[in-house]
Structure 1
Amino acid sequence: MHGLPEGGEPLTAPEPAAPEDVAVILYTSGTTGRPKGALLTHLNIVLNASVCAHDLLRLNGDDVVLGCLPLFHSYGQTCAMNTTLRAGATLVLMPRFSGAGALELLAAEGVSVFMGVPTMYHALVEAAAQAGSAARPALRAAVSGGAALPVAVLERFEAAFTTRVLEGYGLTETSPVATFNQPEFGLRPGTVGHPVWGVEIGVADAAVEDAVVLLADGEVGEVVVRGHNVFAGYLDDPEATAAAVVDGWFRTGDLGVRDEDGFLSIVDRKKDLVIRGGFNIYPREVEEVLVRHPAVSEVAVIGVPDETRGEEICAVVVQRAGTETVTEQELIDWSKERLGRHKYPRIVRFTEALPLGPTGKVLKRALTAGSA
């Protein structure tokens, strides 16, 4: 046991905590910048876990959840661990994720609910294809979050595992769950569903930074959130807190659009936006198209400096095994037929693997830095 801080005394009884007291400090993933410590309160944590357990997943004591997400991250800690404990279900932990290892655990432990990020879904689909149908467990539900799940990957997973994928949306600062594809509203692949209980979602003018100006449905803007899930601020960073929480709304830094039925779709991160010759290009739209090419296993689209157009579109591609004869020009021509003339990538680079952070999210800043 580690020693107590200097002058500290051991507690002789539980210390009461108020709902607004800070429960944990969880660091943001740092996908687009330096990680920041998000202060999450007891109210944030308890309500988010309760909503996930009872409203969204309807977990019970018979459920078995596979926890292959790091517990230092809000997705792994709140959605997997706290939610499972809140429902009295069983949590199976996996120290390091691999598609083959997860597939083996799913079957061996009788897992009924899988929670993962998009790269994990891709790995499971690949592992299932190699293992054959006998190794595929009977999942009741699968939950995807942490980043946008390409619809093509969702379709492949649902076909391989004969279950539905429920995609949600949130950030460390929102405890994390803010929206979810909830069956009572209908499921719509490619969207992140509706706000969860007690939470409001809006789409605001991204160009106005000192106020939240909400836009009408159908318009693309910055996703803003308010409700019991919004954090208490950033650790020792009042300036970042003031910039993030404006007019009572948390500004997510994500661009999104809400349709007339209330479904929210995430377009992309504001910082990932590529501006090519004055046109705004959303990398996710390009990725959704490219990942459907039979030779493409994974893809990340970034902007690289260009003297003429400011930025050029670059697709970094991981090829499927056995497709090594496919050329960069073939992928460029293929995407040109399926995307607008200003959207298709002019540059394609092949790589053996995309750089991932500890939570399994693609680190686009590492790709961009390598292309500078």
Structure 2
Amino acid sequence: MTWVSRNGIVLTDRVPAAARRAWVRAGHCPGRDLHSLLRDRVGRHPDRVAVVDDRGQLTYAELAEQVRGLAGALAARPGDIVGVRVPNGRDAVIAELAVAACGAVALPFTGGRADALNLLGRARAAWLITDDDLPWPTVSPRARGEGWEPVTVDPESPARLLVSSGSEAEPKLVAYSHNAFAGGRGNYVRAVHRGTPVWRDLVLVPLSSAYGSFGATITLCRFGGTLLLRPRFDALDALRTVAEHRPTHVFGVPTMLRRLAEHAADFDTSSLRAVVSSGDVLPADTLRRCREVFGVDVVNVYGSSDGVNCHTTTPEHGVGRPDPAVTAIRIVAGEICALGPMTPLDHVGDGPPRLPGGWVRTGDRGSFDPDGTLHVLRRIKRVVIRGGYTISPAEVESALTGHPAVADAACVPVPDRDLGERLCACVTVRAGHPVPDLTALTTFLRTDGGISPPKLPERLLVLARLPLSHTGKVCLRTLADLATAHHGER
């Protein structure tokens, strides 16, 4: 199946159609589009609370009215790609679901102007919804969506472009269908909830991220739960939300969960049935502390925007066993590869090559133990993960060498108790130039290099020369040891 946006973006499903049909027949995918699933939920429990944010509560009936109002006012049409840059809250949910109601494809993202221009340009987006546009006015007939009807959508057509965290030089745009979201991705989220009758999910990560993307489409559309959102992460604010609004599950990256555990003793967290971690390696001390403080399972999710997933409550023994209702996993030449109901359609532009049959290559080295538990060994490509955010050192290095005072540059991680890793820029200085400080380099990277703030180095090591390995390449291991000795926490 090939889909073409109104502005010429071509997406071809890399998975054989027979496999997609088999997953629907097996019940792994609903064979429904997201907006029709939402209408079902509204019909079943219109007065249930759908969203809780810093502006209060929104019921399913109220959510549906606002989704309809924005969809009726949008000029988006089937085949359009619509950017959504709105912080966590009801407006982000309304915008994403209104785009789905129009039969268009949502591209939620965060970041500054440079990131926005890059993503919107690559996707050839027809429209952009920002928080300046919302809340949408609801007084005019057109804003209320009068005379507007939702569009019938093929559930195998694209619903959303996920933005990867940027382990390559630039983030990937990964296209997911309605079925892959509500089906395969929904099945993993359902398994995480382990029979909880009504979900109340406090999602601390951005809904625009791959990890947080389940919020509107799965917690609400597929399973009719309640979504608790805060506009930004603050540990004390999050714990107050837990005490007041009684979520059953909290979703965050390890750094967030560690900060929650540090202050949780002063708050009532008895409503929690599980704490869910993803986006980074879960350190053993954070796992231990969360278990002690919250007294519930800590679920560790191994996943990515490319459609791989495993989860477990015992991450000290591996990342879990693959679930065929989510995705099958196999090891090919040492690399973890995945194929299943949550496998994405395609990438915008050139994505990583797939194996025959549509199997996705994850870029992770892995192995199975005798009982079928998957173990992730390391990334094939070099990345630094800062508090769940993936940084490409190569991207920063390339920009650094454009500074007139920098002769050579390499970036390595230094361990950090709070964020896991921080990026250290290791540079040599050109003869005749003054030694730049960290502020001068980061200012240059932002203004001249186009590096977004989350990717900026936070440590600097100036050397007479970069250490070389026996092959003549920069020895990153030696460099990381030097940077850790200078800056790292012991």
TM over 0.5: yes
SS at match of 1:240: coil
| Match among 367, 383, 389 for residue 257 of structure 1 | 367
Distance 1:173 1:34 in 2: 15
Contact 2:467 / 2:478 at 8 angstroms: preserved in 1? no
| 1:29 corresponds to which of 157, 160, 165 | 165
Choose which of 115, 134, 137 in structure 1 pairs with 2:251: 115
Residues 3 and 262 (structure 1), Cα distance of their counterparts in 2 relative to 1, 3 Å cut: closer
Query: Structure 1 counterpart of 2:421, which letter?
Result: A
Residue identity matched to 1:269:
R
* Counterparts in 2 of 1:314 and 1:103: CA distance versus 1, 3 Å: farther
Once superposed, what is the RMSD of the aligned Cα atoms? 3.2
How far 1:16 sits from its partner (Å)?
1.7
* Correspondence 1:300 to 2:437: no
1:339 corresponds to which residue? none
Quick one: which amino acid aligns to residue 240 of structure 1? G
Q: Does residue 57 in structure 1 map to residue 202 in structure 2?
A: no
Aligned residue identity for 1:201: I
1:220-245 superposed Cα distances (whole Å, 9 cap, x missing partner): x211001111111111x1x425x245
Structure 2 match to 1:230: 343
Higher gyration radius (CA): 2
Conserved? CA contact 2:336–2:361, under 8 Å:
yes
| CA pair 232-350 structure 1, distance change in 2 beyond 3 A | same
Deviation at 1:350, TM superposition (A): 3.1
Alignment of 1:1-372 (within 5 A): 4=75, 12-58=148-194, 60-78=196-214, 80-85=215-220, 86-128=222-264, 132-174=265-307, 178-181=309-312, 187-189=314-316, 191-198=318-325, 199-205=327-333, 221-235=334-348, 237=349, 239-241=350-352, 243-272=353-382, 296-300=417-421, 305-308=466-469, 310-313=474-477, 345-348=481-484, 349-350=486-487
- Deviation per CA, 1:101-155: give whole Å up to 9, x if none: 2122111111111111122112212333xxx354544410111112221222111
Unpaired runs of 5+ in structure 2?
A: 1-69, 81-101, 103-144, 385-414, 427-465
SS at match of 1:313: helix
Question: How far 1:53 moved relative to its partner?
Answer: 4.6
- Measured at CA, do residues 180 and 50 of structure 1 come closer, stay the same or move farther in structure 2, by a change above 3 Å? same
Q: Compared with structure 1, are the counterparts of its residues 60 and 273 closer, same or farther at alpha carbon in structure 2 (3 Å cutoff)? A: closer
- CA-to-aligned-CA distance 1:285-329 (integer Å, 9 cap, x gap): xxxxx78xxxx444428897522454243798xxxxxxxxxxxxx
Partners of 2:173 and 2:419 lie apart in 1 by 30
Shift of 1:170: 1.5
List gaps (5 residues or longer) in structure 1: 206-220, 275-289, 317-344, 353-372
Distance 2:161 2:315 in 1: 33
What CA distance in whole angstroms lies between the structure 2 residues aligned with 1:302 and 1:20? 40
Instruction: Flag the 1:114–1:5 CA change in 2: closer, same or farther, 3 A.
Output: closer
Same amino acid, percent of matched pairs: 27
Equivalent residues of 2:320, 2:373 under 8 A apart = yes
- Code of the residue aligned with 1:150 in structure 2: it is P
Choose 104-113 or 13-22, whichever is displaced more.
13-22
